[in-house]
């Protein structure tokens, strides 16, 4: 098994390729509850040539009765928005944020879901890039819109029906990526109901990184998920389908081959009054 990261690139790697024409650098900075802050931070300063992609405006659909707090847009909408950002199927895409990789991983996941191979997350966030003296600019790049030809990998995504089947009959591992106190139902800062999907195990997404903010190696990621079957179906969720994506990335780095995202996650699950809720430790 490889101990080389497939989906995470270092600051040095990016610096060396900063001006290669097929590279699209994407700033994904976003703070929940402060929807304008990412765009403002980007306008002030960003990695040269980076374009800005917004979690709520670009990578989410409007909120409805179901689908959670950050519903995935349909494939055509996503493809159109990526093309508008200058991303085609031939682009190599490197995403970064300042939120521990959560927002960048959402873009990474969306690209993979739409059939894109060369998608990467920058090892650390924008603050680390600045701290280490790497170049920044306030200059906005000229973006030439292109066509993104999507060929969705529908097996990467599950909806509430599949999760209900797993709760009732097993057949897959459910991973809750939220903080332990939210998983246990002791606090719930964002959603109407507290707790977790019955049978889910808790693996907080931020444990995929070391203390210094760098991503753990594939070997270290394997240790986090040591008891899980390498080829068994694994369904990952969080509050709204965003912070689950770094766990999807970590599982894939660790060699798991059948990893799926429950797109609507907890906020979708609780939108159905009949769905059962568990609290405490499993």
b/e burial code for range 195-219 (CB count within 10 A of at least 16 → b)? bbbebbebbbbeebbeeeeebbbbe
DSSP bridge partners of 52: 27
Active-site choice (28, 166, 175, 238) = 238
Burial of 233-256, coded b for 16+ CB within 10 Å and e otherwise, reads bbbbbbbbbbbbbbbbbbbbbbbb
Whether the CA torsion 161, 163, 167, 172 is positive or negative: it is positive
- Closest by alpha carbon to 78, among 115, 40, 32, 122? 115
What count of Cα atoms within 13 Å lies in the side-chain half-sphere of residue 219? 3
CB 260 within 8 A of CB 157: yes
Whole-angstrom Cα Rg for the chain: 18
**Is there a catalytic annotation at residue 238?**
yes
Select from 263, 280, 274 the least CA-distant residue to 64: 263
**CA proximity to 29, closest of 118, 91, 103:** 103
199 within 8 A of 166, measured Cβ to Cβ: yes
Q: In whole angstroms, give the CA distance from residue 27 to residue 18.
A: 14
DSSP assigned state of 170 = -
User: Between the CA atoms of 171, 73, 264 and 274, what dihedral angle is there, to the nearest 10 degrees?
Assistant: -100
Catalytic residues, by residue number, are 238
């Amino acid at each position: 098994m490889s101990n080389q990261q497939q989906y995470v690139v270092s600051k040095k790697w990016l610096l060396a390729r900063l001006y290669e024409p097929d590279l699209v650098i994407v700033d994904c900075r976003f703070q929940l509850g402060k929807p304008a802050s990412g765009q403002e931070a980007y306008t002030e300063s960003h990695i040269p040539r980076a374009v800005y992609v917004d979690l709520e405006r670009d990578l989410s659909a409007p909120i409805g009765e179901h689908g959670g707090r950050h519903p995935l847009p349909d494939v055509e909408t996503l493809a159109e928005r990526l093309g508008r950002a200058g991303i085609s199927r031939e682009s190599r895409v490197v995403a970064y944020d300042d939120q521990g990789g959560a927002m960048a991983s959402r873009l990474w996941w969306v690209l993979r879901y739409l059939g894109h191979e060369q998608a990467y997350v920058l090892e650390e966030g924008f603050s680390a890039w600045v701290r280490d003296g790497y170049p920044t600019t306030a200059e906005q790049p000229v973006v030439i819109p292109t066509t993104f030809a999507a060929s969705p990998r529908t097996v990467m995504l599950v909806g509430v029906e599949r999760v209900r089947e797993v709760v009732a009959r097993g057949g897959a591992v459910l991973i809750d990526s939220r903080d332990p106190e939210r998983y246990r139902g002791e606090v719930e800062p964002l959603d109407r109901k507290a707790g977790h999907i019955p049978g889910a195990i808790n693996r907080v997404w931020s444990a995929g990184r070391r203390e210094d903010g760098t991503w753990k190696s594939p070997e270290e990621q394997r240790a986090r998920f040591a008891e899980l079957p390498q080829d068994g179906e694994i369904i990952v969720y969080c509050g709204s389908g965003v912070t689950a994506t770094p766990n999807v990335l970590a599982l894939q780095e660790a060699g798991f081959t059948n990893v799926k995202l429950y797109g609507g996650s907890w906020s979708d699950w609780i939108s159905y009054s009949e769905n059962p809720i568990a609290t405490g430790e499993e």
